[in-house]
Every structure is written in structure tokens, then in C-alpha cells.
């Protein structure tokens, strides 16, 4: 089990949602561990200055915190369709990270930065390390609810913003080919929202000027200071 989040000068977006996702997974896998105490100590240990990308993880019966400098964040990403779907626990973050990382390395040989997972019928499900959304006109679209994927914290935050703003959200089954000419987003805790500028051997992507920047600002505005150490 694992969970990561971006810390910018002591502020985090949706930290409580990250906590709930991680704690829920740990309680199922190792119900005797004091995950609440661990989480409180981990948050207290986070630096209040600089950019960090810590990771909480369950290894065997041990809860650990990796304090890592945040990698560079980017506004765009190149996608490629994955050759397979290696996930064994698609609803839990952690068990499949190594296999998904291997997929990303595989698509990197084709000039891509993120692998897009398809189900057995060819429907778009999610990225190896990100959630996927796309725009159909003024409606924000996401994969159908019954397509198994990780409950992403950033995509949940964007969908909450969409509800507040009155943006229609559609749940769809699409193949990569059916996304030709669409604006496609890749969402993660590190980058927030990235726009797909290319899909290797896949659909042509699009971008409405200003939309990505507007939504990224909305996300950034949701960062809140960490509790006092």
C-alpha cells in the first residue's frame, strides 16, 4: 500500500482524502496497525518549506514514510497505449506500482511519458500513474464507473470543482480512436492536471486555449497549510 502527495511550502491539497485512502487500504491489509498514529507522526515530520513529494507506505507489517524532494512538475504529457494491463489490485494504490512503472518504461521507448490502460474490450480505463479525463464540448468526461481503476484523489477534487461550477460530467466507454480531436487530461497528485499534447500511434489531441491553466489555478487554490508540527 502506498500514497503520495505534493507539499509546497507546507501546504497540501486534499490531504484528508489521501489519508482516508491510505488508512482504508492499510486497515484491510493489516488491521492491527496504528495507522492513525503513524499518519499524525508522518505529517508532523514533513518540512514546512520547499517542494516535497513524500510517500507513506505499508511494507510487510511496517508503516514507513519516505521524504522525497518533489520532481519537476509539467503542464503536458505524451501518451501511448499500454501493451497489456498488469494490475492485480486495480482499486488499491501500491501493489501494482512496480508493474505499472515497467509499463511506463516500455512506452518511454516509443517516445511517451504515460501509458494508457485499456480493459479487455479496448475501453480506456486510466493511466499507469494517473487518472484520465476528456472534454466533449463543455462537458467533462470520465471512464464509466464500472471500469475498475484507482480512486484518484486529484480526479475526485476536479469532479468536486466541476459540480460546484455546474459543469456537466459524463461517464463514458470510449476507445482511444473515439477520442480523436478531444482535449485529454492526465491527473495526478504531483502534476495536478496535465494536457495530452500527443498520443503515440493514437488519436489526435486538442486543446482549448486557457482551459488547462484555469483549472490548474483552481486546484492550486485548494492547497491548505499542514497542521502545526
Number of structural domains the chain divides into = 2
Which phi and psi (to 5°) does residue 15 adopt? -60, -35
What does DSSP assign to residue 144?
A: -
pLDDT score, position 228: 82
Same domain, 148 and 44: no
The model's pTM is 0.95
Q: Which residues pair with 27 in a beta bridge?
A: none
For cell 473515439, name the residue: 178
Same domain, 38 and 100: no
Contacts of 42 (CB under 8 A, 6+ apart): 54, 56, 65
pLDDT score, position 167: 99
**Cα separation, 191 vs 166, whole angstroms:** 24
Question: Which range of residues forms the domain containing residue 115?
Answer: 76-219
Neighbours of 122 (CB within 10 A): 13
Same domain, 31 and 17: yes
**Cα separation, 169 vs 21, whole angstroms:** 23
Q: Is 18 contained in some domain?
A: yes
Same domain, 137 and 97: yes
Contacts of 215 (CB under 8 A, 6+ apart): 158, 161, 193
Contacts of 145 (CB under 8 A, 6+ apart): 171
Same domain, 105 and 11: no
pLDDT in tens, the chain (229 residues): 899 999 999 999 999 999 999 999 999 999 999 999 999 999 999 999 999 999 999 999 999 999 999 999 999 999 999 999 999 999 999 999 999 999 999 999 999 999 999 999 999 999 999 999 999 999 999 999 999 999 999 999 999 999 999 999 999 999 999 999 999 999 999 999 999 999 999 999 999 999 999 999 999 999 999 998 6
Q: Is 229 contained in some domain?
A: no
**Cα separation, 134 vs 144, whole angstroms:** 12
Q: Which residues pair with 210 in a beta bridge?
A: none
Spatial CA neighbour of 43 closest among 67, 73, 17: 67
pLDDT score, position 119: 97
| Inter-residue contact 175 to 134 (CB < 8 Å) | no
Same domain, 94 and 177: yes
Same domain, 116 and 181: yes
DSSP of 41-70, one letter per residue? HHHHTS-SSSEE--EEEEETTEEEEE--BP
Q: Is 169 contained in some domain?
A: yes
**Cα separation, 133 vs 170, whole angstroms:** 10
Amino acid at each position: 500500500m502506498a500514497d503520495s502527495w505534493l507539499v509546497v511550502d507546507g501546504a497540501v491539497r486534499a490531504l484528508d482524502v489521501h489519508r482516508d485512502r491510505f488508512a482504508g487500504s492499510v486497515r484491510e491489509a493489516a488491521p492491527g496497525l496504528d495507522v492513525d498514529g503513524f499518519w499524525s507522526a508522518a505529517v508532523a515530520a514533513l518540512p514546512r518549506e520547499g517542494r516535497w513529494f513524500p510517500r507513506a507506505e505499508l511494507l510487510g507489517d511496517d508503516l514507513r514514510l519516505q521524504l522525497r524532494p518533489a520532481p519537476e512538475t509539467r503542464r503536458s504529457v505524451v501518451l501511448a497505449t499500454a501493451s497489456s494491463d498488469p494490475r492485480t489490485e486495480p482499486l488499491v494504490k501500491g501493489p501494482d506500482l512496480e508493474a505499472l512503472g515497467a509499463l511506463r518504461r516500455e512506452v518511454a521507448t516509443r517516445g511517451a511519458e504515460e501509458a494508457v490502460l485499456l480493459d479487455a474490450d479496448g475501453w480506456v480505463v486510466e493511466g499507469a500513474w494517473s487518472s484520465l479525463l476528456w472534454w466533449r464540448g463543455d462537458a467533462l468526461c470520465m471512464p464509466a464507473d464500472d471500469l475498475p481503476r484507482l480512486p484518484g484523489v486529484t480526479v475526485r477534487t476536479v469532479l468536486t470543482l466541476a459540480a460546484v461550477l455546474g459543469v456537466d460530467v459524463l461517464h463514458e466507454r470510449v476507445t482511444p480512436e473515439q477520442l480523436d480531436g478531444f482535449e485529454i487530461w492526465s491527473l495526478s497528485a504531483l502534476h495536478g492536471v496535465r494536457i495530452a499534447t500527443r498520443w503515440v500511434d493514437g488519436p489526435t489531441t486538442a486543446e482549448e486555449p486557457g482551459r488547462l491553466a484555469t483549472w490548474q489555478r483552481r486546484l492550486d487554490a485548494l492547497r491548505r497549510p499542514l497542521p502545526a508540527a
